[in-house]
């Protein structure tokens, strides 16, 4: 593989600095990381978004095995459709946040697939998930795609864990958290005893929600959440913020969340980083009934990041008589 990767010239671009914004605009970059593969003439051979090692290696191998431009692949697909071409074209659309169009091609890849070792059910599910986040795909389609994966004998334990994780987000967004329970239960069962580091990581990520939504045990959920936190998290402002927000979101250990968010704000860099943690601290204070303190922290967040629309809205909300704290996700 190292020899094969030697055929690429790698260029890392920060899309927010120097020539980065112009390049991001030129190639329609919608999120990070996005990988764009060009030929010697600057034509796009392939592109995809997101990183995990197996799929990244698979994508680079696919480019090397069949180095044709996206336009040439599209023309070839129209003349003679194949599952690999449908999937590669779908990934290009995926990376441009065109999930409805990508979904149609992933479904076509599944229909055309001749490789018994492969299927595209996970790709179909993920496209449904992100399409639903754009309100472009109905919730029922996300559930249907998740159910198809649960029923598939080809579904890998890590995939089921990822489905459960995304279904928790979907269920909370729909204000129906209970609908995630069967996916959590299936994933926890299938990942039990795995020695695969990727599976173990994914399992750790879903165990807190499993405890909350299946076992209905807040104390166990807290223990699982702490076990899933990375080493050194108690001195990392971002991780302190994540843990405090999780406590707020689930109404667990709010007094501790208050202390951890306060610590995170003290450790954070001035500006946007500190504003985000002050926002969490304000919400925790409000949930504890400390409206005046919540307003103080909300104003501090806005002072740290005056362009933050969320902070201005938070100040306005906390300036009014008491109202319920929001259940947003992060």
The tokens describing 94, both together, are: 């995926």
CA-CA distance, 159 to 171, in Å (whole number)?
18
* Residue-level pLDDT, tens digit, the chain, 330 residues: 566 667 778 888 888 888 888 888 888 888 888 889 898 888 999 888 887 776 777 888 888 888 899 999 999 999 999 999 999 999 999 999 999 999 999 999 999 999 998 899 999 999 999 999 999 999 999 999 999 999 999 999 999 999 999 999 999 999 999 999 999 999 999 999 999 998 999 999 999 999 999 999 999 999 999 999 999 999 999 999 999 999 999 999 999 999 999 999 999 999 999 999 999 999 999 999 999 999 999 999 999 999 999 999 999 999 987 655 554 544
What is the DSSP secondary-structure string of 6-44?
Answer: TT-------TTSTTHHHHHHHTT--SSSEEEEE-TTS-E
Integer-rounded Cα radius of gyration of the chain: 22
- The pLDDT assigned to 329 comes to 46
The angle at the Cα of 181, spanning 179 to 183, to the nearest 5 degrees, equals: 95
User: Please, how many CA atoms are within 13 Å of residue 185, restricted to the half-sphere of its CB?
Assistant: 10
Q: Look at residue 184 and give its three-state secondary structure.
A: helix
The tokens describing 258, both together, are: 């208050």
According to DSSP, residue 235 is labeled G
According to DSSP, residue 47 is labeled E
Topology of the domain comprising 240-330: 1.25.40
Q: Are strands 44-49 and 34-38 parallel, antiparallel or unpaired?
A: antiparallel
Residues of the chain with CATH 1.25.40: 240-330
């Amino acid at each position: 593989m190292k020899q094969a990767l030697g055929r690429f010239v790698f260029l890392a671009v920060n899309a927010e600095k120097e020539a980065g914004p112009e390049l991001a605009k030129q190639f329609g970059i919608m999120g990070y990381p996005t990988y764009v593969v060009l030929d010697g003439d600057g034509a796009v051979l392939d592109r995809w978004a997101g990183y995990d090692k197996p799929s990244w290696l698979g994508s680079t191998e696919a480019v090397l095995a069949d180095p044709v431009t996206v336009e040439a692949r599209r023309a070839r697909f129209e003349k003679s459709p194949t599952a690999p071409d449908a999937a590669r074209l779908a990934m290009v659309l995926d990376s441009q946040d065109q999930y409805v169009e990508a979904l149609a091609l992933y479904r076509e890849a599944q229909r055309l697939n001749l490789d018994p070792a492969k299927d595209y059910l996970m790709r179909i599910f993920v496209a449904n998930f992100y399409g639903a986040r754009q309100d472009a795909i109905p919730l029922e389609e996300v559930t249907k795609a998740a159910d198809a994966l649960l029923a598939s004998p080809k579904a890998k334990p890590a995939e089921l864990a990822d489905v459960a994780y995304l279904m928790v987000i979907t269920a909370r967004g729909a204000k129906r958290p209970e609908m995630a329970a069967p996916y959590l239960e299936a994933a926890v069962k299938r990942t039990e005893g795995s020695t695969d580091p990727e599976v173990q990581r994914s399992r750790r990520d879903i165990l807190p929600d499993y405890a909350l939504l299946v076992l209905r045990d807040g104390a166990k959920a807290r223990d699982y959440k702490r076990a899933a936190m990375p080493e050194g998290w108690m001195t990392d402002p971002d991780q302190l913020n994540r843990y405090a927000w999780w406590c707020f979101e689930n109404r667990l250990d709010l007094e501790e969340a208050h202390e951890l968010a306060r610590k995170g704000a003290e450790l954070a860099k001035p500006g946007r980083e500190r504003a985000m943690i002050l926002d969490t601290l304000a919400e925790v204070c409000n949930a504890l009934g400390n409206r005046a303190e919540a307003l103080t922290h909300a104003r501090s967040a806005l002072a740290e990041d005056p362009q933050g629309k969320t902070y201005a809205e938070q100040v306005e909300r906390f300036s009014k008589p008491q109202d319920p704290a929001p259940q947003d996700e992060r």
